[in-house]
Structure 1
């Protein structure tokens, strides 16, 4: 495909086309089809990678190294009460220069902006390497059959991605004021202490799990996990629920349950924290004589993309368009970058996230256009440096 024949994509039009597909996780409703048509028209080879009921897409243009990837998701969260919106959530209405719709910010606007940026770069000439897209329909949901599975499959095939930009809405107050170069990991743990039910007047005939659980939780909550890590705040353990479910005042319960979450920096791994929790529970079990059962789910380890040409190049592209150099931050929750980190350096750069997941999610048209220009400079700058 010659530069002269390359179609130039309008980022706002493409965002509107994507919003009109009500792709609430796990539904796709044709969102991947919209994206695949646009990328095929730009010369990408598109692979639909379906795992369970989730549609995913890996598209690549070129075979040479390096391979610069954009990652994102077409799935969105539910709208809530549709009548509470000032514009129908899936009609993609533009009013007073603002585009309304579920996914405008998180993150169909980001996907469309990168597609538009690619079209502009290719209209000027080819790149010295490859461009790719890794798009999932399972980021807002359990994230079990989306990016995680695609990354595993690509790595098994020997596919190489050299750097990746995730289009999550990383900006805080103004476009480009922040990029995310790392994220904390997240570990959920369910604790069950098994006792013996009995009458409160005869405690010798029962074994009360409640005080055992209370003492264990107090020890865990009082433990300081670390003092922080390069660019990260200290890890924190939060008890999210304590459940006994005992409606009677004269019955010692048979079980006591709790759940906790740990948001952790790179000083730890999910495995190291699970080992620590198991050891603490083992001590409590030995002291009490009651069986303590733990179940863990680590949704991703912490990661950090350190300062270097990739990060600096993205910051320079933002500054050239917006006049502000973005802060390189590790704040916030998790994203699919936690899976992509296994393949390459990764960072997040996208629209202002103030209205994501809210009623009347929206993005100014001018900011979508501006983001496309930022992305164009990111792409051009990346291949200029290789």
Structure 2
């Protein structure tokens, strides 16, 4: 069970479809406890949400402190009959490990655990010979869903204990085409909202007695989204605002609706804060409405803020380890969706480096056994450099 492939198989065989744990955290807790880690199972709850079990395990009590973060919850498998190998079988076929979570991200967790255990075995069971240094694991079961009772609360729980992190490696699938091509050092923020245009309901044969919000919302959608929000920054691609639905809630063919709604999402870079972004969109709306159109935006709460780990000694260390194992110098990227790194970044510098993301969330999600071996070696190289 010190082997990354065996650990990954054991995790995959736990059908931990969010928010169910199905024993996945127990697999990790038992393994880490057997190798000297102090472990804590911490459950968080909130009204209207599922109770979520989380795991924090630490070896050592001194700085420098590196933590490996991840999540054991997975998305549903979809049509299990469509899988060529069982969605929770952990089967290896033709050099690939199959199963939900093989890529996102039980495989990454398995590699980090295996690398740490191998490192400790070669170094007398301690992070450093002088007794300094700490290694920990932050593992949640609440990443693929609401992300309310997981990493964000576990980080606070650790901080309330007086513990601090110096650096973090998150094993989300970061590589695009081949192992070693990409490290995530930041992510754009995410903000959603609903544009609401009020009209006056009436009969389509008597439009003079009504006010149709449909043409108005069409004009406002263009006014809000047609002009770029920005042109990108030194580390980030341009922000983008995308309308994803338009609805008037009207099934009748002879009724002018009284209201129209359009939902949108913005992925924004470090040229904006959440407040300045909202102000920019609200200003565009006000200018487009003039004194005639009655419209407003209802903003969704968001904890997906933009973050960036600036290139420096820690990213250089990771690049060196990756280049040494793969022969490739990875791109420092900020593309992609959100991850739990957005929470971790408030506590310490964090990078994301994991397996290839090409099959995550798909039928027949799978990870190359060779890539699992490569990622384990990279993590081991990071540890050697970090404590060396």
TM-score calculated relative to the size of structure 2: 0.92
Is 1:109–2:101 an aligned residue pair? no
Contact 1:274 1:296 in 2 (8 A): no
**SS of equivalent residue, structure 2 residue 216:** helix
Deviation sequence 1:201-244 (CA, Å, 0-9, x none): 43443332223322221211123211101121111111111111
Contact 1:212 1:284 in 2 (8 A): no
What is the aligned counterpart of 1:58 among 49, 56, 59? Answer: 56
Map 1:339-358 onto structure 2 (within 5 A): 339-358=343-362
Work out the CA distance in 1 between the residues paired with 2:228 and 2:356.
Answer: 34
Partner of 1:47: 40
| Alpha-carbon distance, 1:110 to partner | 0.7
Work out the CA distance in 2 between the residues paired with 1:227 and 1:366.
Answer: 39
| Alpha-carbon distance, 1:354 to partner | 1.5
Is 1:16–2:14 an aligned residue pair? no
Contact 2:167 2:348 in 1 (8 A): yes
Contact 2:68 2:137 in 1 (8 A): yes
- What do you get for the CA RMSD once the two structures are aligned? 1.7
**SS of equivalent residue, structure 1 residue 59:** strand
Map 1:112-261 onto structure 2 (within 5 A): 112-125=110-123, 126-127=126-127, 128-261=132-265
**SS of equivalent residue, structure 2 residue 103:** helix
Work out the CA distance in 2 between the residues paired with 1:336 and 1:84.
Answer: 30
Work out the CA distance in 1 between the residues paired with 2:4 and 2:372.
Answer: 7
Partner of 1:28: 21
Work out the CA distance in 1 between the residues paired with 2:299 and 2:332.
Answer: 35
Segment drifting more, 135-144 vs 279-288: 279-288
**SS of equivalent residue, structure 1 residue 68:** strand
Work out the CA distance in 1 between the residues paired with 2:348 and 2:364.
Answer: 35
Work out the CA distance in 1 between the residues paired with 2:270 and 2:57.
Answer: 31
Work out the CA distance in 1 between the residues paired with 2:230 and 2:164.
Answer: 35
Work out the CA distance in 2 between the residues paired with 1:225 and 1:280.
Answer: 11
| Alpha-carbon distance, 1:198 to partner | 1.3
Is 1:72–2:65 an aligned residue pair? no
Contact 1:213 1:256 in 2 (8 A): yes
Segment drifting more, 280-289 vs 100-109: 280-289
Work out the CA distance in 2 between the residues paired with 1:43 and 1:215.
Answer: 63
TM-score calculated relative to the size of structure 1: 0.93
Unmatched tracts of structure 2, length 5 or more: 46-50
> CA 1:288 to 1:148, structure 2 compared with 1: closer, same or farther past 3 Å?
farther
Work out the CA distance in 2 between the residues paired with 1:248 and 1:365.
Answer: 56
Contact 2:59 2:135 in 1 (8 A): yes
What is the aligned counterpart of 2:80 among 79, 82, 98? Answer: 82
**SS of equivalent residue, structure 2 residue 168:** strand
| Alpha-carbon distance, 1:195 to partner | 2.4
Unmatched tracts of structure 1, length 5 or more: 1-7
Contact 2:73 2:144 in 1 (8 A): yes
Work out the CA distance in 1 between the residues paired with 2:278 and 2:40.
Answer: 37
Deviation sequence 1:286-334 (CA, Å, 0-9, x none): 6226353513232411111111110010011111111111111111111
Aligned residues: 377
| Alpha-carbon distance, 1:109 to partner | 0.9
Contact 2:224 2:285 in 1 (8 A): no
Contact 2:197 2:293 in 1 (8 A): no
